[in-house]
Amino acid sequence: MTNHEQKILIVDDEPMIRRLLHVKLSRLGFHCEEAGNAIEALDKMKTYSANLIMLDMKMPGMSGMDLLTDLKIKYPDTAVIMATAVAEANLAIQCMRLGADDYITKPFNLDEVSLNVEKTLQKRMLEHQIKEYQEQLQQKVQEQTGEIRRLFLGSIEALVFALEAKDKYTAGHSRRVTEIALAIGRELNLSEEELENLRWGSLLHDVGKIAVDQFVQNKPGKLTPAEYEHIMIHAHVGAGIVKHVVNEKVAEIVEHHHDHYDGTGLHQEVAREDIPLGARILAVADAYDAMTSDRPYRLGMPVEAARQEIKRCIGTQFDPVVANAFLKIDSSLSTSEKDIAPAINMSVMP
Ligand SMILES: [Fe+2]
């Protein structure tokens, strides 16, 4: 930026001093305007966005120091040089603490004034460039972090589908559960952000099954208490996997998706409304899909029987509000594929 592009506002109650500074700084190529007091200065600044203000400390009415405080709030990017009498050195230092960039003492040495003005403006320009550079850098880092997370989240999602595809009985489970959970969420008027968290919690809820023994998972027939306990670690393991790439809310949905509303679930630490709402919704959707899907040892339940079972467990396993919302929605859920797994939304990131 050349001097010609820089604007200076000279604020002093003495016309002679204003004139003197105006002439000197104009000769250096600066564009100058004048104000005789604080009110005039504030008024000028509404239309004249000065890069630098030469501000007299002592003026009738609002003092230079008070005006400085005001200017720093309203125009933080404008540099301010205070003009003080030699005897006011302490006040000048106080002004520097309040945000003034420099001070000059009266009577002026005009060459010194010019030097101070140029030095202050240069410093400001450098600060501005550094700030811009830092912002650009920050944005770049954010973009790249987002890209890495997007890729990672996509890989985990692919892992879930791959895990499910290994077994014809669980294939498509997460997608179907997501469809049902979102329908319940909409019935409950969840916000877009909550729905997005629910979507990812539902898609990823069983990723922790990677830590579950395949023999136990596919065991035909009833599980022993130890086997059941082993299978149930998948909620905690899953939350641990996803928490690095999704926000806390999504990880909590995964962590609590097998909690019972009345608090009687295995190793359960919270109950009722302390269980995250997303997890309470997912619990109903998950149970419904599990009941209506075939298993190696049994056929899937008819839709109506599964709905009755959900109804029977209202208040014990399931949150009444959530279960009733589920019972209200049409059983032939029709959320499109695109709706279930959209382009990854950054709002679910940590
Ligand atoms: Fe699960």
Separation of CA 336 and ligand 1 centre (Å): 23
Separation of CA 313 and ligand 1 centre (Å): 18
Separation of CA 252 and ligand 1 centre (Å): 13
Separation of CA 208 and ligand 1 centre (Å): 8
Separation of CA 205 and ligand 1 centre (Å): 6
pLDDT of residue 168: 72
pLDDT tens, residue by residue, 95-125? 889 999 999 988 889 999 999 999 999 999 9
Separation of CA 256 and ligand 1 centre (Å): 9
Separation of CA 173 and ligand 1 centre (Å): 10
pLDDT of residue 348: 58
Separation of CA 238 and ligand 1 centre (Å): 9
Sheet with 31-35, strands from edge to edge, namely: 31-35, 7-11, 52-56, 79-85, 102-106
Separation of CA 209 and ligand 1 centre (Å): 8
Cβ atoms 188, 320 nearer than 8 A: no
pLDDT less than 50: residues of the chain:
334-344
Residue carrying structure tokens 């009687």: 264
Separation of CA 250 and ligand 1 centre (Å): 14
Separation of CA 231 and ligand 1 centre (Å): 9
Separation of CA 149 and ligand 1 centre (Å): 23
Separation of CA 98 and ligand 1 centre (Å): 59
Separation of CA 59 and ligand 1 centre (Å): 74
For helices 192-204 and 173-187, give the axis angle rounded to 10 degrees.
160
Separation of CA 214 and ligand 1 centre (Å): 14
Separation of CA 136 and ligand 1 centre (Å): 42
Separation of CA 77 and ligand 1 centre (Å): 55
* Residue 6 CA: distances (Å) to CA of 33, 50, 66, 132, 207: 11, 7, 25, 19, 60
pLDDT of residue 276: 97
Separation of CA 235 and ligand 1 centre (Å): 6
Separation of CA 285 and ligand 1 centre (Å): 11
Separation of CA 42 and ligand 1 centre (Å): 64
pLDDT of residue 341: 45
Q: How far apart are CA 321 and CA 350, in angstroms?
A: 29
Distance from the Cα of residue 75 to its chain's centroid: 27
Identify the three-state secondary structure at position 328: helix
Burial (Cβ within 10 Å: 0-12, 13-18, ≥19) of residue 186:
middle
Of 94, 101, 24, 1, which Cα lies nearest the Cα of 55?
Answer: 101
Separation of CA 257 and ligand 1 centre (Å): 7
Q: List the shell of residues around ion ligand 1, using CB closer than 5 Å.
A: 206
Side chain identity, residue 139? Q
DSSP bridge partners of 84: 105
Separation of CA 19 and ligand 1 centre (Å): 80
Separation of CA 175 and ligand 1 centre (Å): 13
Of 346, 332, 321, which Cα lies nearest the Cα of 189?
Answer: 321
List helix spans (H) across 98-191. Answer: 110-165, 173-187
Separation of CA 232 and ligand 1 centre (Å): 7
Burial (Cβ within 10 Å: 0-12, 13-18, ≥19) of residue 16:
exposed
Cis status, amide bond into 107, omega within 30 of 0: yes
pLDDT of residue 295: 79
Q: How far apart are CA 34 and CA 75, in angstroms?
A: 17
